[in-house]
Amino acid sequence: MNLAGRDIRYHLGRFLLTGLGIGLLLATVMAMGGIYRGMVEDALSMIRGAGADLWVVQKGTAGPFAEVSRVPEDLYRAIRAVSGVRDASPVAFQSVQLRQGERRLRVQLIGARGGALGMPPAVAAGRPIGAARHEMIADLRADLALGSQVSIGRLRFTVVGLTDGLVSSSGDPVVHVSLMDAQEIQFLKGSEAIRNERARLEADLSGRGPGGPDAASVAPLVQNTHLANAVLVALEPWADKDEVAARIQRWNHYRAMTGAEQEEVLTRSVIERARQQILLFRVTLLAVSTVIIALIIYTMTMEKTRDIATLKVIGAPDRTIATLILQESLGLGLLGFLLGWALIGQTYEFFPRRVAIEPVDQYVLLGIVVGICALASLLGIRRALSVDPTTALGGGAQ
């Protein structure tokens, strides 16, 4: 005869309601774990989706996901000549705001040469970018229909293709445009800025006296948009990644990072703070859950003081009484865990960003829940074992 089971059954409504409360807390813990996991997956999907073995970035930087990195667009030609390199292509990355009528949407813009590295390997609907300018492939998360017109800065685009599951580490959907469009968005200055710069240039050059270059001939050099944030490199199957990277790094001004290093940059540097924050939230929520379970179990124990005293008078050993409290605590935690899992399982798709619920994370959390329930029961067990059996002999009728 399981006393905890009988008590739970007798107070089923209250137990379910309490379990639901714990379940909501644990669902939040699960959601936060899922958000972090989703953040990592999103970030990695963007890197892995690029299909590059090496990322050549500006020397002294950790690449476009961590800081500003600028390399010449035509660097890819030199890299292609390196032994072991199958393909190389420049790419531009930028987080921008996209407009569709009155709608504003933050997206991760990737500019790449048509059909080259950096463009999505496949589209879920529509077609890849065919024209040199003003076409866009958007992720389904952007909720843009094929054929719809959108604007970024001064440029207008037609959505010609859709991808599925390409988002940035911030959860923003990824849109792909031609490298030229991306360069114009990122590097071309506004008309006002160009006029100001031209005037400043003319003033500087006029001070140097006759015979020097005029402002009109120098201006295109100053307003160079033939830049990229990185050059993606695909290697031949037989090529040694480290050897090729070392060779490229011997050139001044460039750093060659492997895909794994880029993933490391994203997961360790860019997402690290979010990870720590989410971890702190999770620990706080688990601590709150522990305190709540402990208080509920303690209150339930207090309510059973006379029953526990009666059990002691009848002759129940401490083991039986401690088991009663421990099992109720575990029951409450497990019920909360199952309700939380069911809740998150039904709602995770409605979260504004990806929530990746992994079974392994859930099993780890289950272990933690069992641990905190055992911990939470200690207060109740301590209280129960200290109940004076003489308490059973006083008082009025039930």
Partner 1 sequence: MSVVEGRGLTKVFGAGEGAVTALRDAAIEVDAGELVAIMGPSGSGKTTLLRALSLIDPPTAGDISFGGERVCAGGRVLTDDRKLRLTRMGIIFQAYNLIPFLTTLENVALPLVLAGAPNAVAFRGARLLLEGLDLAGRAGVHPATLSGGEQQRVAVARAVVNDPAVILADEPTAALDTERGRAVMELLRRLGRERGAAVIVVTHDERMIEGFDRVYHMTDGRIRTARGGGDPAAAVV
Residues 55, 230 contacting (CB under 8 angstroms): yes
Q: Rule CB under 8 A: is residue 314 a binding residue for partner 1? A: yes
Q: Considering only residues 147, 207, 359, 395, which one is a binding residue for partner 1 as defined by CB under 8 A?
A: 395
Secondary structure of residue 36 in the 3-state scheme: helix
Q: Rule CB under 8 A: is residue 392 a binding residue for partner 1? A: yes
Q: Nearer to partner 1 by C-beta: 131 or 393? A: 393
Using CB under 8 A as the criterion, what x/- string covers residues 9-28 for binding partner 1? xxx-----------------
Q: Considering only residues 37, 141, 255, 312, which one is a binding residue for partner 1 as defined by CB under 8 A?
A: 312
Greatest CA separation found in the chain? 114
Q: Rule CB under 8 A: is residue 320 a binding residue for partner 1? A: yes
Q: How many other C-beta atoms can be found within 10 angstroms of the C-beta atom of residue 216?
A: 10
Residue 128, C-beta contacts closer than 8 angstroms, at least 6 positions apart: 114, 115, 119, 120, 137, 160, 161
Q: Rule CB under 8 A: is residue 193 a binding residue for partner 1? A: no
Q: Say what angle helices 305-314 and 272-303 make with each other, to 10 degrees.
A: 60
Q: Rule CB under 8 A: is residue 316 a binding residue for partner 1? A: yes
Q: Rule CB under 8 A: is residue 328 a binding residue for partner 1? A: no
Q: Rule CB under 8 A: is residue 7 a binding residue for partner 1? A: yes
Q: Nearer to partner 1 by C-beta: 4 or 357? A: 4
Q: Rule CB under 8 A: is residue 352 a binding residue for partner 1? A: no
- The C-alpha atoms of residue 119 and residue 206 are separated, in whole angstroms, by 45
- The C-alpha atoms of residue 117 and residue 58 are separated, in whole angstroms, by 18
Q: Rule CB under 8 A: is residue 305 a binding residue for partner 1? A: no
Q: Rule CB under 8 A: is residue 130 a binding residue for partner 1? A: no
Q: How many other C-beta atoms can be found within 10 angstroms of the C-beta atom of residue 344?
A: 22
Q: Nearer to partner 1 by C-beta: 1 or 68? A: 1
Q: How many other C-beta atoms can be found within 10 angstroms of the C-beta atom of residue 150?
A: 21
Chain residues that interact with partner 1, rule: CB under 8 A: 1, 3, 6-7, 9-11, 306-307, 310-317, 320, 389-390, 392-398
